[in-house]
Amino acid sequence: MINLGSSLIQGIRLGTKRVSAIYLGETPITFNSAYTLGEYYPDAGGYIYYLNGSGGGQVALYQNTPSGSVASQLKWGSVVQNVTGTFTNVNSGSVNTTAMNVTSGSFRVWSEIQNLNSSSVIENAGFTDWYIPSIDALGYVYDNLASQNIAGPWVRGGVLSGNDRSYWSSTQISTTNAWMYQMTDGFITDHGPKFTPRKDEQLMLRPVRTYTSGSFL
């Protein structure tokens, strides 16, 4: 990046092409990504829903998983197994997903993340470090993507029951419960974090990943 007094250059475009570096002699001058919230960032593999203020951020995959199907729903995990070390903040999704992986059990959404990270380039957009977002991260996903109908569909099959528009987070509440987020207002229910009674509920999953300021188009 370049500082010009109090001004910060974050990106340069030549027509529709973003330029990540210019050269003065043999010395490259690099720039942060000029992509903004809600845009698809090819070099990060998804739609930007969070910016960290330092040139990096988080993106959501362009589709649900497994296999991008809006009809597929998954259980979070076993209602008798406690997963320690999960948190709510926006940057904790990767740590949470690792904690879920350490704890053995059936029907875990982390198994779909593992499948995605070892799948074809088409399925995983060429990256192998996807994880389950924290509950706070899903709030950003709603605000900057779902509420604006970006990277949808966010409702399974067009139906309006709670589970058909609800997405798992990686944030556990208790041995039997975890947080989920509703991605549409629907007709009678406001969006927001909702307490789901049990981890064996079947909800949807949208993988996310973190990118750094070193990723350029």
Q: What is the pLDDT of residue 161?
A: 60
- One domain for residues 27 and 70: no
pLDDT in tens, 35-59: 899 999 999 999 999 999 999 999 9
Q: How far apart are CA 135 and CA 171, in angstroms?
A: 6
- One domain for residues 3 and 80: no
Q: What is the pLDDT of residue 150?
A: 95
Q: Which of 102-106, 164-168, 197-201 has the lowest mean pLDDT?
A: 102-106
Q: How far apart are CA 7 and CA 118, in angstroms?
A: 42
- One domain for residues 69 and 106: yes
- One domain for residues 5 and 96: no
pLDDT class for 16, splitting at 50, 70, 90?
A: very low
- One domain for residues 66 and 19: no
172 found inside a domain: yes
Structural domain that includes position 128: 40-211
Torsion of CA 207, 135, 101, 125, to 10 degrees: 10
2 pLDDT exceeds 50?
no
- One domain for residues 126 and 203: yes
Helix (H), strand (E) at residue 34: none
Give the chain's domain count.
2
